[in-house]
Amino acid sequence: MGITKTEHFTDEQNELAILAKAIGHPARIAIIQHLIKVNSCVCGDIVNELPLAQPTVSQHLKELKNAGLIKGNFEGNSICYCLNEEGFNKIKGFFQQVNTHLENRKNQCC
Amino acid sequence: MGITKTEHFTDEQNELAILAKAIGHPARIAIIQHLIKVNSCVCGDIVNELPLAQPTVSQHLKELKNAGLIKGNFEGNSICYCLNEEGFNKIKGFFQQVNTHLENRKNQCC
DNA sequence: TATATATATCGTAATATTGCTATATAAAAA
DNA sequence: TTTTTATATAGCAATATTACGATATATATA
């Protein structure tokens, strides 16, 4: 098929998957890393930073935005982008659970 | 195309993307959550836990294993799965950087 | 050894993703 | 108002992913 059976999973599981999937591309990792470095910048800077055509970058930005991982605001002629806490806070809890688990389990692994 | 230009990104960016992408499916989130809950279990338990056919689950397990997020060891007739610290440790640093950034930036966002 | 049980692989259909060129839109500057 | 600059969208080709039934493999038990 190629179609994910989202209806059989919980909202939380689907939401976490959407967030992780959005992060799961090297171009989008690069965008996030760049925004960490410069705090905020206009779209054009990201286009210059990446080895991809402008429409492709625009598409990646859209996906990050839809997932709630970045925000974009008009700033004169261009659009200023920065990280969106909301999205990252949602995944934070998941990885904290993983870490707590990994720290607490001693040699109970198979 | 449909082909990611991995050669234009750093090894770290590609590695992080592979890990996030592996997590980016509700079935694989469900598998990880189940392993957190029960510490370790055999493949069949996961098949029973998920609303997917056995070959589909097997495929998801393979992807998590290839990404280094779970480990599987023979245990008699069946295979025992548990989380693999290695993979999760690799993403940990990335999210720590994100969190540090989000905490430190005040209203410097656009 | 033969059979049962557990898991993986093959092959395939449906759908999604990636990346591009061409083009549209929208704000700013001339 | 026209032009420039910045970003988004449409449309498309190549490739990847998801899911399944059928089947292979591999260990354990009888």
CATH architecture of the domain formed by A8-104 = Orthogonal Bundle (1.10)
Q: What confidence tens digit (pLDDT) does each residue in B8-42 have?
A: 999 999 999 999 999 999 999 999 999 999 999 99
End-to-end CA distance of chain B, in Å? Answer: 34
Q: Is CATH 1.10.10.10 correct for B10-103?
A: yes
The verdict on B39 touching A (C-beta cutoff 8 Å) is yes
Q: In the 8-state DSSP scheme, what is residue B47? A: H
Q: Where are the beta strands (DSSP E) in chain B?
A: 41-42, 70-75, 78-83
Domain ranges of chain A: 8-104
Q: Which chain B residues contact residue A14 at CB under 8 A?
A: 26
Q: What confidence tens digit (pLDDT) does each residue in A22-71 have?
A: 999 999 999 999 999 999 999 999 999 999 999 999 999 999 999 999 99
Which class for B82: exposed (0-12), middle (13-18), buried (19 or more C-beta within 10 A)? Answer: buried
- The β-bridge partners of A81 are A41, A72
Report the largest interatomic distance among the alpha carbons of chain B, rounded to a whole angstrom.
58
> Confidence class of residue A1 from pLDDT cuts 50, 70 and 90?
low
Q: Which chain B residues contact residue A26 at CB under 8 A?
A: 4-6, 9-10, 13-14, 16-17
The verdict on B78 touching A (C-beta cutoff 8 Å) is no
Q: In the 8-state DSSP scheme, what is residue B71? A: E
> Confidence class of residue A110 from pLDDT cuts 50, 70 and 90?
confident
> Confidence class of residue B4 from pLDDT cuts 50, 70 and 90?
confident
| Block residue for tokens 């607490």 | A104
**Residue-level pLDDT at B1:** 58
Q: Quick one: tokens of B11?
A: 């090894």
Question: CA A76 → C1' C29, Å?
Answer: 12
H or E, element range at B89? helix B85-104
